[in-house]
Amino acid sequence: MLAVTLAACNGSSADTTAVDGDDTAPEQETEGTGAEAAACSVDQVDGDLNFYNWSEYIDPELITAFEEQYDVDVIETFYDSNETMLAQIQAGVVYDLIVPSDYMVAIMIDEGLLMPLQKEAIPNVSNLDEDFTGLPYDPDNAYSVPYQWGTTGLGVNLSVVGEDYTPSWALAFDPEATAAYPGGVSLLNDPRETIGAALKYLGYSLNETSEDALQEAADLIAAANITTFDSDQYPDNLVNGEVAVSHGYSGNFFTTFAGTDDPDNWAYVVPQEGATLWTDNLVVPAAADHPCTAHTFINFLLDAENGAQLTNWTYYASPNAAAEEFILPEILEDPAIYPDEETFALLEAIEDTGDSEILFTDYFNIARGG
């Protein structure tokens, strides 16, 4: 069912350094050698791993276990949107492993920014669910292997919004409703996700590229009671009472809600107008300095038990079929994490819109008053 839907639409260890993805280029900004690297073998490492990832998207114990097993360090740097990551790679900043979402994989392949994967060095790729092979953004899985998947929706403070709310993007965009919220609304600092959410509320595809529709979406966002655009602290801002409704990724809400004194006061909503279904992927940049270490880390994460540990920590769904026997039952059986058929019918994947990609950024800046 996931494959059909996508095809139709298209923390850290002591040795890990955290750097804001918006900062200037780190010191590893040197010409990469990955394009000329010799073929990698199973479990081969060729240096420390410079890992560019979304924040709080891997169990720190997995990082530590990899470092100890292979006697390397993992230097983890964080970004808050696919577009931020792309700009860094385009600028020549060198990383060994990155985690782009589906549509961004297609863009990076088209721009020649990714290294073809050496599958012989990743035998655990056989653990993947067949639904996650042959997806439109990389039909032959030549450049990517899926990492985690999930949805983008709304986190809701029920004590403010009430128990009888309608699961709609109106919770974020209706000016009258949002004006009454103490603290207002938080939206993702992400052009495709946030403009896409507004497009869905207006009845469009989240891949709509007509400028009239994009202007409508920008106007909608500008008129709502938006307190902040944030792709990092949005679940914390919700549970701390800084906002009443927060736009974000499913697993981040679940892990944050679980750590509160009253988990039942919070809800995650897939709006009835539709929402994003995304798949994040592991890819090796063409300029990687240490491609063999990157391949070995991919293989490490595709191990059945390691894949389960990842999902048990992130509360995102796993594309690793072999991992399912080790995933906590409360995660596997939660329809908000592994959506049921009714929810799947509401989901759409973000596509690469080619030359229109810049329009999403332009109208996002207009929506923010930039």
Q: Write out pLDDT tens, residues 201-218.
A: 999 999 999 999 999 999
Any domain includes 333 = no
CB half-sphere exposure, 362, CA atoms < 13 A: 10
Question: Residue 369: its pLDDT value, please?
Answer: 87
Do 6 and 124 reside in the same domain of the chain?
yes
pLDDT at 255 over 80: yes
Do 57 and 116 reside in the same domain of the chain?
yes
pLDDT at 26 over 80: no
Helix (H, G, I), strand (E, B) or coil at 178: helix
Question: Residue 38: its pLDDT value, please?
Answer: 52
Mean per-residue pLDDT of the chain: 90
Do 97 and 196 reside in the same domain of the chain?
no
Any domain includes 7 = yes
**DSSP calls for 42-56:** TT---S-EEEEEETT
Do 200 and 349 reside in the same domain of the chain?
yes
Do 129 and 156 reside in the same domain of the chain?
no
Domains in the chain: how many in total?
2
pLDDT at 110 over 60: yes
Do 155 and 238 reside in the same domain of the chain?
yes
Any domain includes 307 = no
Any domain includes 287 = yes
Do 214 and 361 reside in the same domain of the chain?
yes
- As a whole number of angstroms, the distance between CA 226 and CA 172 comes to 8
Do 155 and 124 reside in the same domain of the chain?
no
Do 18 and 117 reside in the same domain of the chain?
yes
pLDDT at 84 over 70: yes
Do 115 and 236 reside in the same domain of the chain?
no
- As a whole number of angstroms, the distance between CA 299 and CA 312 comes to 18
Q: Quick one: what percent of the chain has pLDDT higher than 90?
A: 84
Any domain includes 314 = no
Do 6 and 139 reside in the same domain of the chain?
yes
- How sure is the predictor about 36, in pLDDT bands with cuts at 50, 70 and 90? very low
- As a whole number of angstroms, the distance between CA 144 and CA 115 comes to 9
Cα-flanking dihedrals φ and ψ of residue 56, to 5°?
50, 45
Any domain includes 337 = no
Looking at the DSSP bridge assignments, the partners of residue 151 are: 277
- As a whole number of angstroms, the distance between CA 90 and CA 112 comes to 10
Any domain includes 319 = no
Do 224 and 360 reside in the same domain of the chain?
yes
Any domain includes 311 = no
Q: What is the CATH number of the domain that holds 34?
A: 3.40.190.10
CA angle, 352 as apex, 349 and 355 as ends, to 5°? 150
| Domain assignment of residue 131, given as a range | 2-144+283-302
